[in-house]
Each structure stands twice: as structure tokens, then as C-alpha cells.
A and B are shown apart, each in its own frame.
Chain A
Amino acid sequence: MDPLALLPEILLAGAAVVGLLLGSHLPRRRQWLVAVLALVACVAGTGATAVVWFRADMAVFGGSYVVDVATNATRVTVLVAVVLVLGLAVGPLRGARREAEFVVLVLLSALGAVLLAGADDLLLLAASYLLASIPLYALAGFAKDAPGTEAALKFYLMGALPGVVVPAGVAVLLGVGGTTGYAGLSGGLDAAPRAAVAVGGVAVLAGLLFKAGAVPAHFWVPDVTEGARPVVAALVTTVPKIGAVVAVHRFITTPMASSPVDWGMLVAVIAAVTMTLGNLAAFFQDNVRRLLAYSTISQVGYLLVGVAAGRGDLALPGVLLYLLGYAVTNLGAFAVVCALPAAALRTDYRGLVRRRPWLAVSLVVLLLGLVGTPPTAVFAGKLLVFTAALDAGLGWLVVLAAVNTVASVFYYLRWIGPAVRGDATTRFTTDRWAEVTAYVTAGASVLLGVLTGPVLALVGP
């Protein structure tokens, strides 16, 4: 086995362990060294991924983990997301107690997300589910305040159910398929009883949908997003989704591909319900974090449109591109929220353009980016995902996604409106680091969209 193949995962895990040790020995004013360590690990991990990018797909760990373009793209996207989250965390956490612990938990949850995407075995999938979940429970309550504690409790309780259901599903599939490896299952479920496969598969999917924040496992999203710190909200609505969406795609196209249940259709229906419910709930939200929470739910719906397209030529590339675009854009929107800690309601943004014109411009670019306005990265993702779904015969789903996209304009504009109008009556105190992150993400969102060609060539068919 090539040790380079797993270097990004090793770096994340190593940085987490070293960070924890360092953190317990460093004085509080030097804790930032742990964040630097994490940053180095992310950069090195991205580099290591680049080195193995063009190698042939390979299965490692006795076939339980696969390194292919989907895993590599997830690694890069997650690592980029972690760097951005670290940027957002500087303001609120610099010199704070438990700064090192925060960084370590972020690294562990990122590792869990990457493993989810690469897992080629149900047991590893179940383990990564836990790794991707548990650090986030702790992070949700990190502030130790009432809303944070409530968020953490809700998050934990709602996560505990899938935490039990996933192993049960694994057991059922093991029972009917005779193995937990995807490679073995992909042929082994042909003759299995339909009901058992359906029950097992749905149970596993339930866990992944919980991580992705898709309906019907989405109830935690708004509460955690509003209750936890903004930087944590940015993390939990981005990083686990990346791994979970890729995992869903892998799950329905590899072990379940030949099973007697139409998983593509099931995911299509989930996608339809997810984007619609997310949008409807976002409509009249005045709290910007709740608004973003529901927006992330609807975004998962669009992502699942691409997943439902299954093995189509553009399906996986579209999803991977969309995930990168979504991660950057969504983190950017949260960066604006983090940059203005005092503004909780959309009306608090009134007159932002007068006081902080570039922050307002970034907000406009990022929110319109989430809508899917060209030439941003999410537009490119949506274009490909829609094309793949239409090609797969899911015309109804694409039409529904288009209608939902139009509807989503309404609530994003309800936020943009006050920000670009009104007089400069309010004073805005900003978090410098988050502000810079917002600029960077806004620029990256447009740049990625313009550079769709080369990026797509990397993940493309």
C-alpha cells in the first residue's frame, strides 16, 4: 500500500492528536499555534491530494476505503472549508479558553466527513458517521451558553437515533448480502429479499441524510445554526454535508446499484421534498442565521438532484463541483454573519452598503451565488446537476428545482434589500478576520465559476 494514498487523512488525524497535546501544554496566549498547525496540515493535505490526484482509483485498508476522484475532491473541498472556518474562528476564539480544543474538534469532524465520502465498507461508514457527528455535538455547545446548550442537546438527541439506526441497517444488509464491503454487496444483493434490502438501505441512508441535513432528518439544522456560535454554524452546515452527499452517491451507485429497489427515485423524492420544505421555511425568516439554515437545507435538495441522476456522465462531476461551490459560498455567507456579530436580523443590515460597501457587495455576490446566478460556482454546479438529472429522465425534478430556485430569490432578496438600501444610521462593528474571509469567498465564488472549465476537467468524466 502506498502511504501517500492516505496522507491527507493521516495529516488531519495527526494534527488533531498533536494539537490536543500541544493545547494542554501551551499557555493560553500561545494557543494560536494549534490553529497554525491545523492550517499547515490542511495545506499539506491539499498538496498530498494533488500528488495522488491523477493516479488510478485504488482501494486501501483491505478494500474498505477507496481513493478516487470523489474522495479526492471531498478532501480538497473539506480542507478548503476547514481553512475558511479557521479564518472565521480567529476573531471570536483568539486567546479564548479552549481555543486548541476548538481547533481539534474541527479537525476531527473534518476527518469524519472525508472518511464518510471515501468509505467503501458499511462498517467504516458507520464509524465515520460517529466521527463526523460527535465532535460537532461538542462544538454546538461550545459557548456554554443557554442557546448553545439547547442546540447541542437537540443535535445530540436527533443524532442519537440515526446513530442506532445506521448500525441496524448495516446488520440487515450484512445479513442479506453476506458482507459489508461495497464491492461484495454490489453483486450480492441481486437475489436478496426486496424488503430487507429496502429496510437496510433506508436505515443507512437515514444516517447520511441526517448528516446532510436533508428532509426528514433536517430538524436540527435551524436550531443548531441559530443556537450555536456563528462560526460553528458555518462549520456544521458545510463540512458534514460535503462528506454525506458524496457518501449517498457512492452508496446508491455502488452497493445498491443492482439491488431490487429504485434508489435513484427515492433520492429524487427526498431531493424534491428537501428543497421545497427548506425554501418554504426560509420564506419569512427574519433572523439571518435561521434563514441561512433553511437555505442550506434547500441547497442539499439541489445537490441530491445530482445524486439522484446516479451514474450519468455529468452527475458525479456536477455534484462535486456544486459541493465545492456550495462550501465556498455558504461559508462566505456565514462569514458575513460572523463579520457583523451584532446584526442578528436582516433589518439590522440596513444601510450596510454606506458603511461597509465591500462587505455589502460581498453579501450580494454570495447570496446571489447561493441562488445560482451566473457566473458563480453554484451556477456551474446547478447547470451540470440539472443537465445530468434531465439526461437521467428526471425532468419533473429539474422543473421543481428551477421553480424552487426562483422562489429562493425571494428570501435572499429580503436580506439583500435592506443591506443595499437605507441610510447609514447604524454603526457596524466588524470582525476583521471574518470580513476578509467574506471578501475572499466572494471572490473565489466568482472565480471558481469563471474557471469552471479547468475545475470540471479535474473532476470530470
Chain B
Amino acid sequence: MKVLTAVVFLPLVAAVVLLVAPRTGDRFAHVVWMATSAVELLLVVVLWIGYRPGPSGFDHEVHHRWIPTVDAGYHVGVDGFSLPLVALTTVLFLSCAIYSARETRRVRSYAALFLFLETVCLGVFVALDLVLFFVFFDLSIVGMYFVIAGWGHRDAARAALKFFLYTFLGSLVLLLGFIGLYLASTPHTFDVVALTGQEPLAGKGAVGALVLAALALGLAIKTPVVPFHTWLPPAHTEAPAAGSAILAGILLKMGTYGFVRIVMPTLPGTWRDYAPVFVVLGVVSVVYGALVALAQRDFKRMIAYTSVNHMGYVVLGVGAAGVIASTDEQARDLAVTGAVTQMVSHGLITAALFLLAGVLHERGSTYRMADYRGLAARAPRFAVLTATASFASLGLPGFSGFIAEFQVFTGALGGVPVATGVALLGILITAALFLRAVQGLLLGPFAAPGGRFPDLTTPELAATAPLVVLSAVIGVFPRFLLDVVEPAARALNTVLGG
């Protein structure tokens, strides 16, 4: 099946067409962007409906030789981990395309850049070869750098540079880990599926730990896990709204996706040995992210730090899955399923919040929460969406966040009760900070910089509302998602079982 390749590279083709086409208006560029993103979403819906994983666990698998000397191939496919993230990617990119209707600065390049990023993001999630994964992983950094540097706010150049250097360091460390896996395998291969069967570093002690450390550091920077998160707040503060939505919604997932796709299946034994480390890192991210978010006075920075908090639950989930004894398979499945669900959920909700933050900035040229009050009176649609997204983000039942976090906690509780207990604190703090933000921004007498605050325009509404609605749909009818994720989680846990 070549569908997957088409899905991945269609946006790139559209980007090239946009750039090569003779001088066209901004309007045309934007229409092409939206149309391509819509077609992508449609294709992925078709993929989802027809999703029937084969005996390998993957659907639409394609495997071509690429660099046979080192056994690196063009190997792509989707399974229960990647399909939801692929779908999330197309949803968010369409949202960003719609949201950017008001963008006036160099629209053609902006559209081309986002289309390029869409290809890259999809590529990361479907790649089943380490070199291919790395190609897309690294290019995502390049693409996002140009989004931030080219269309960001005042201090964008510096933030973009920091983002590039920090995450590029992560990706190179990751590459060293990949090379370590390659050298440990016999016959040498970069193929993830082949490596999964091999357990190349089983019983190799220190080398295994070193490779795990390299892989984990590379992915932890991208996720980001405390204490490797310091690139995130400035990048978000300076990025344009759509860039932030993609950065938080998709790029961060690449880190945690790497854990379930590459690290856990290829290094199951080492992962079990060192899983407590990840549990601790996860809990620290949860609590630290929540506490720092609580201290923020800037709406966008606050959301950025809640991302650290939310991604912490994912790390807690995958870490717990390594700790839980192999007897309790159900708990382990729950933890992994919860972690993957949390990735999707966080992607939807945070993207919505970042786009709404963009609305705030567009109206008042600042993210300072103290400058806005009583927006509900003038901008009811904005108020409803912001409040709903905030509630979804703090884990209110009925939204996807609840489903995800509930599974993570239920799964983890038996294996790591103390850590789970501490992580629960994170939920409390997040609830407090979101309630405070909602109260401050939306309620009370009206005040906004410039004295005006027009309500959401149609494109803004069309970009943000579906994300919140989707989160609610997953919250109420989660089976369509869980039915896809659970088999993959079970397959992973069979490998991890040991």
C-alpha cells in the first residue's frame, strides 16, 4: 500500500508547488494550505476507518531498501501508537491553517513552511527505521526554528536559536543512541521492527545503560522532561500562535512517542531496570511544571508550563509500565494506553489553548493576564471556549484529559503508589491555576488593553472549537480511540514483559 507515503509527502509536494508557482496572491497560498490540510485529514480518516493491522501489528506497511550497506530502509507503517498521533497531526495542522487566515506577513512562505512541517511530523510518527525517524525528527527542529525566527514576536531570534541549539543537542544524542543500537545488533540494522525482535543489548550491562541514557536524554529534551525543559518557555513565548500550537501539540509528542516506539521495545530489559528513574522524572515534571505554571503571570507561559506538567503524566505512565511486575498485565496496559491517550489529549487541548492565547495577543498585544478582565462580557465565544479548554486541561471528567490521566493513575497506582500520590498533587495545582486564570481573564468588570476586545472571528472559532469538541468526544466516547491504542499497548507489554 502506498497510501501512507502519499499521506506523508502530499504536504511537501504542495509546499514545493506553492514556492515554485509564479507569483500568486496570499489568498491563493492560504487556500492551497487549507485545502491540502483538509485532504490530509480526510485521507487519515479513511486510513482510520480501514485500519486493519496485519500480523506484524502494522497497517499500510511499506519497506524499501534505502541504504542497504547499513540496513537502513524506507520502512513506514501505522499501528495503535502512531495512528492516533498521525490523526492528531492532521487535525492540528488543519486548525492552524484555518487559524492563520489573518496572517499577512509572507503568507506564501508561511504556508509552505507549515506544509513542510506537516510532512516532517507525519514522517516521524510513521517511520519504522531509526535513520528515517531521525531524518524527520531533526527536520522538525529546522522547520520550527524558521517558524519562530521568521514569524515570532520581538525576541524571537534569540528564543529560536536557543530552541534550535537545545533540541538539536537532544537529537544528536539520540543519534548516538541509535548508532549504539545499530552496533549492538547482529546482523547490524537500523530497522525498528527487526531490533524489537532482537533485544540487541540484553545482558550487556553498562553498554545497555549508556545507550538507554543517550536515547532517553535525546527524547527527554524534546518531551521536555524537567530538568531539560528550559528551552520551552522562551520558544513558546516568542513563537506565533500557530507555531506554538504545533510545537506543543505535535513536536513534544515526538519525544514521548520515541519512548513507546523505540526505547521500550528495543531495550525492554534495560527499560525495566531503569524504569524507576523515569517514574521519578515524570513525577518531578508533573509537580514542578504545575508549580511553575502557578507562578506565571503570562497566559502563554502558563500554558507552556502546564505542557511540562501534562507531558510528565506520559513519562510517569511509561515509566510505571516498566516497574509494574509482569504479573499485573492489566495495570501495565492501562498505564501505556493512558500515556498514549494523554499524548493525543494534550495535543488537542494545548493547541486550542495556544491558539486562544494567540487571539488574546492579537487583540491586546500582550499575554499579561493582569491586563485582561471580564472578557466574558464582550467576547462570549472566546470566554466559553477558553473556559471549556481550561477545564479540559485540568482533567475534568467528560474530556479526554480525564480519560488519559485516570488510566495513567489507575495503572501506576499499584506499582508506584507513592509517586502516583505525589503526581495527584499536580492535578490539584493545575486545577487551581486554571480556575484562577479563568476567573481573572473572563469574569468581573471588563478591562483590556486599548479598551476593545472583539469576539472570535469565524476562522478563529473554526480553528479552536473543533479541538475542544474532539477532546469532549474522546472524553465521552473514548472507545474508538482506545480500541486502536490498546492492542498496540498489549503488544508492547508482551515485549516488555520479560
Residues of chain A at the chain B interface (Cβ within 8 Å): 314, 317, 353, 357, 368, 373-375, 379-380, 383-384, 386-387, 390-391, 398-399, 402-403, 405-406, 409-410, 413, 417, 420-421, 452-453, 456-457, 460-461
B107 within 8 A of A: no
Question: A162: shortest Cβ distance to chain B, in Å?
Answer: 34
The interface residues of chain A lying within 8 Å CB-to-CB of B169 are 403, 406
Contact of B139 among A357, A374, A405, A456 (CB under 8 A): A374
Besides A383-B131, A390-B180, A406-B168, 10 new A-B residue pairs in contact (Cβ under 8 A), listed by A number: A390-B183, A406-B169, A406-B172, A409-B164, A409-B165, A409-B168, A420-B146, A420-B150, A421-B149, A453-B65
Question: A378: shortest Cβ distance to chain B, in Å?
Answer: 13
B176 within 8 A of A: yes
Fill in one digit per residue for B63-82: 1 if any A CB lies within 8 Å of its CB, else 0: 00111111010000000000
A409 to B171 CA separation, bound complex (whole angstroms) = 13
Chain B binding site: helix, strand, loop or mixed by DSSP? Answer: helix
The interface residues of chain B lying within 8 Å CB-to-CB of A453 are 65-69, 72
Which 6 pairs of residues, A with B, have the shortest CB-CB distance? Answer: A374-B135, A453-B67, A402-B172, A460-B69, A406-B169, A456-B69
Contact of A421 among B139, B157, B175, B180 (CB under 8 A): B157
Cβ B157 vs Cβ A457 within 8 A: no
The residue on A at minimum CB distance from B137 is A374
Knowing A409-B165, A413-B164, A420-B149, the reply to whether A399 touches B176 (Cβ < 8 A) is: yes
The residue on A at minimum CB distance from B210 is A395
The interface residues of chain A lying within 8 Å CB-to-CB of B109 are 353, 357
B142 within 8 A of A: yes
Knowing A413-B161, A420-B146, A452-B67, the reply to whether A402 touches B173 (Cβ < 8 A) is: yes
The residue on B at minimum CB distance from A406 is B169
A421 to B152 CA separation, bound complex (whole angstroms) = 11
Knowing A373-B138, A405-B172, A420-B150, the reply to whether A384 touches B161 (Cβ < 8 A) is: no
Can you spell out 20 A-B residue pairs with CB atoms less than 8 angstroms apart? A314-B70, A353-B109, A375-B135, A375-B139, A387-B70, A387-B182, A387-B183, A390-B179, A390-B183, A398-B179, A402-B173, A406-B168, A409-B165, A409-B168, A417-B161, A452-B66, A453-B67, A453-B68, A453-B72, A456-B67
B134 within 8 A of A: yes
Fill in one digit per residue for B182-194: 1 if any A CB lies within 8 Å of its CB, else 0: 1100000000000
Cβ A384 vs Cβ B157 within 8 A: no
The residue on B at minimum CB distance from A452 is B67
A368 to B146 CA separation, bound complex (whole angstroms) = 12
A456 to B67 CA separation, bound complex (whole angstroms) = 7
Contact of A406 among B131, B139, B165 (CB under 8 A): B165
Question: B61: shortest Cβ distance to chain A, in Å?
Answer: 19
Question: B238: shortest Cβ distance to chain A, in Å?
Answer: 13
A357 to B106 CA separation, bound complex (whole angstroms) = 12
A388 to B36 CA separation, bound complex (whole angstroms) = 42
Knowing A374-B139, A453-B67, the reply to whether A402 touches B161 (Cβ < 8 A) is: no
Contact of A317 among B69, B142, B149, B157 (CB under 8 A): B69
B68, B157, B175 interface centre (most CB from chain A within 10 Å)? B175
A417 to B172 CA separation, bound complex (whole angstroms) = 22
Chain A binding site: helix, strand, loop or mixed by DSSP? Answer: helix
The interface residues of chain B lying within 8 Å CB-to-CB of A357 are 109
B149, B172, B173, B176 interface centre (most CB from chain A within 10 Å)? B172
The interface residues of chain B lying within 8 Å CB-to-CB of A461 are 69
Question: B485: shortest Cβ distance to chain A, in Å?
Answer: 29
A456 to B72 CA separation, bound complex (whole angstroms) = 12
The residue on A at minimum CB distance from B161 is A413
Interface residues on B, range: 20 to 34
The residue on A at minimum CB distance from B183 is A391
The interface residues of chain B lying within 8 Å CB-to-CB of A456 are 67, 69-70
The interface residues of chain A lying within 8 Å CB-to-CB of B176 are 386, 390, 398-399, 402
A-B contact count (CB 8 A): 80
Question: A286: shortest Cβ distance to chain B, in Å?
Answer: 16
A413 to B168 CA separation, bound complex (whole angstroms) = 12
Fill in one digit per residue for B132-166: 1 if any A CB lies within 8 Å of its CB, else 0: 00110011001001100110000001000100110
Knowing A383-B131, A405-B172, the reply to whether A457 touches B68 (Cβ < 8 A) is: yes
Fill in one digit per residue for B27-44: 1 if any A CB lies within 8 Å of its CB, else 0: 000000000000000000
A399 to B65 CA separation, bound complex (whole angstroms) = 29
The interface residues of chain B lying within 8 Å CB-to-CB of A405 are 172
The interface residues of chain B lying within 8 Å CB-to-CB of A457 are 68-69
A241 to B242 CA separation, bound complex (whole angstroms) = 45
The residue on B at minimum CB distance from A389 is B179
Question: B370: shortest Cβ distance to chain A, in Å?
Answer: 31
The interface residues of chain B lying within 8 Å CB-to-CB of A373 are 138-139, 142
Question: B75: shortest Cβ distance to chain A, in Å?
Answer: 13
The interface residues of chain A lying within 8 Å CB-to-CB of B72 are 453
A384 to B69 CA separation, bound complex (whole angstroms) = 10
Cβ B149 vs Cβ A417 within 8 A: yes
Question: A456: shortest Cβ distance to chain B, in Å?
Answer: 5
Question: B185: shortest Cβ distance to chain A, in Å?
Answer: 12
The interface residues of chain A lying within 8 Å CB-to-CB of B142 are 368, 373
B residues 105-139 in Cβ contact with A at 8 Å: 109, 131, 134-135, 138-139
Cβ B70 vs Cβ A384 within 8 A: yes
The interface residues of chain A lying within 8 Å CB-to-CB of B150 are 420-421
Question: B42: shortest Cβ distance to chain A, in Å?
Answer: 28
The interface residues of chain B lying within 8 Å CB-to-CB of A384 are 70
The interface residues of chain B lying within 8 Å CB-to-CB of A403 are 169
A384 to B183 CA separation, bound complex (whole angstroms) = 12
A371 to B169 CA separation, bound complex (whole angstroms) = 12
Cβ B175 vs Cβ A386 within 8 A: yes
Cβ B138 vs Cβ A374 within 8 A: yes
The interface residues of chain B lying within 8 Å CB-to-CB of A413 are 145, 161, 164
Contact of A410 among B69, B135, B165 (CB under 8 A): B165
A121 to B393 CA separation, bound complex (whole angstroms) = 72
The residue on A at minimum CB distance from B172 is A402
Question: B9: shortest Cβ distance to chain A, in Å?
Answer: 12
Cβ B157 vs Cβ A417 within 8 A: yes
A317 to B69 CA separation, bound complex (whole angstroms) = 10
A406 to B165 CA separation, bound complex (whole angstroms) = 6
A417 to B146 CA separation, bound complex (whole angstroms) = 9
The interface residues of chain B lying within 8 Å CB-to-CB of A375 are 135, 139
Question: B73: shortest Cβ distance to chain A, in Å?
Answer: 9
B residues 298-354 in Cβ contact with A at 8 Å: none
Question: A419: shortest Cβ distance to chain B, in Å?
Answer: 11
The interface residues of chain A lying within 8 Å CB-to-CB of B157 are 417, 421
The interface residues of chain A lying within 8 Å CB-to-CB of B168 are 406, 409
A460 to B169 CA separation, bound complex (whole angstroms) = 29
A19 to B161 CA separation, bound complex (whole angstroms) = 49
The residue on A at minimum CB distance from B138 is A374
Cβ A383 vs Cβ B175 within 8 A: yes
A240 to B198 CA separation, bound complex (whole angstroms) = 44
The residue on A at minimum CB distance from B166 is A406
A373 to B168 CA separation, bound complex (whole angstroms) = 10
The interface residues of chain A lying within 8 Å CB-to-CB of B179 are 383, 386-387, 390, 398
The interface residues of chain B lying within 8 Å CB-to-CB of A460 are 69
A40 to B66 CA separation, bound complex (whole angstroms) = 33
A410 to B161 CA separation, bound complex (whole angstroms) = 7
A417 to B160 CA separation, bound complex (whole angstroms) = 10
Question: A393: shortest Cβ distance to chain B, in Å?
Answer: 11
A405 to B173 CA separation, bound complex (whole angstroms) = 11
The interface residues of chain A lying within 8 Å CB-to-CB of B67 are 380, 452-453, 456
A421 to B168 CA separation, bound complex (whole angstroms) = 21
A460 to B69 CA separation, bound complex (whole angstroms) = 7
The residue on B at minimum CB distance from A405 is B172
